[in-house]
């Protein structure tokens, strides 16, 4: 399986600011995903990041709030813009495994964000 790292591992931010989270993979992958996991909740898909094209956002998530970059096959960033306390969450990137399609996803360690 791929080895995935995320930076920062955690951060405490002020309301109204923005934070960019980086996701680095040790091998080239076609598809990368960004999830949010709020306290006591399961994973919610924010968007799918494809190399060379615009990210595809899920219902309830918009590019202005969560801009995503995917400059190559091993790296992606997610920016949480104009943050509010409701954005406090764990943000996770994942990559698709070798099985069919996106079915087996491997996750990074997550970024724990607290917005004051």
Distance of CA 94 to the CA centre of its chain: 7
Shorter beta-carbon distance to another protein: residue 5 or 82: 5
**In the complex, minimum distance from the CB of residue 63 to another protein, in angstroms, rounded to a whole number:** 18
Shorter beta-carbon distance to another protein: residue 37 or 79: 37
- Nearest-angstrom CA–CA distance, 25 and 109: 12
The reply to whether 101 sits near another protein by the rule CB under 8 A is yes
Shorter beta-carbon distance to another protein: residue 31 or 115: 31
Q: Which of residues 10-49 bind another protein (CB under 8 A)?
A: 31, 41-43, 45
DSSP, collapsed to helix, strand or coil, labels residue 38 as coil
Residues 20-34 as b/e (b if ≥16 CB within 10 A, e otherwise) read: ebbbebeeebebbbb
The reply to whether 67 sits near another protein by the rule CB under 8 A is no
Element at 43 (helix H, strand E): strand 43-50
Q: Is the dihedral of CA 18, 43, 77, 113 positive or negative?
A: positive
**In the complex, minimum distance from the CB of residue 38 to another protein, in angstroms, rounded to a whole number:** 11
- Could you tell me which stretch among 11-19, 60-68, 74-82, 97-105 binds another protein (CB under 8 A)? 97-105
Q: Which of residues 70-89 bind another protein (CB under 8 A)?
A: none
């Amino acid at each position: 399986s791929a080895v995935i790292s995320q930076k920062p591992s955690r951060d405490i931010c002020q309301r109204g600011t923005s934070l960019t989270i980086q996701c680095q993979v040790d091998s080239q992958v076609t598809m990368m995903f960004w999830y949010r996991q709020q306290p006591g909740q399961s994973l919610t898909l924010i968007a799918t990041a494809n190399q060379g094209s615009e990210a595809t956002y899920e219902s309830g998530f918009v590019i202005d709030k969560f801009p995503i970059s995917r400059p190559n096959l091993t790296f992606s960033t997610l920016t949480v813009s104009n943050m509010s306390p409701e954005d406090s969450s764990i943000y996770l990137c994942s990559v698709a495994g070798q099985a069919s399609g996106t079915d087996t996803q491997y996750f990074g360690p997550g970024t724990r964000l607290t917005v004051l």
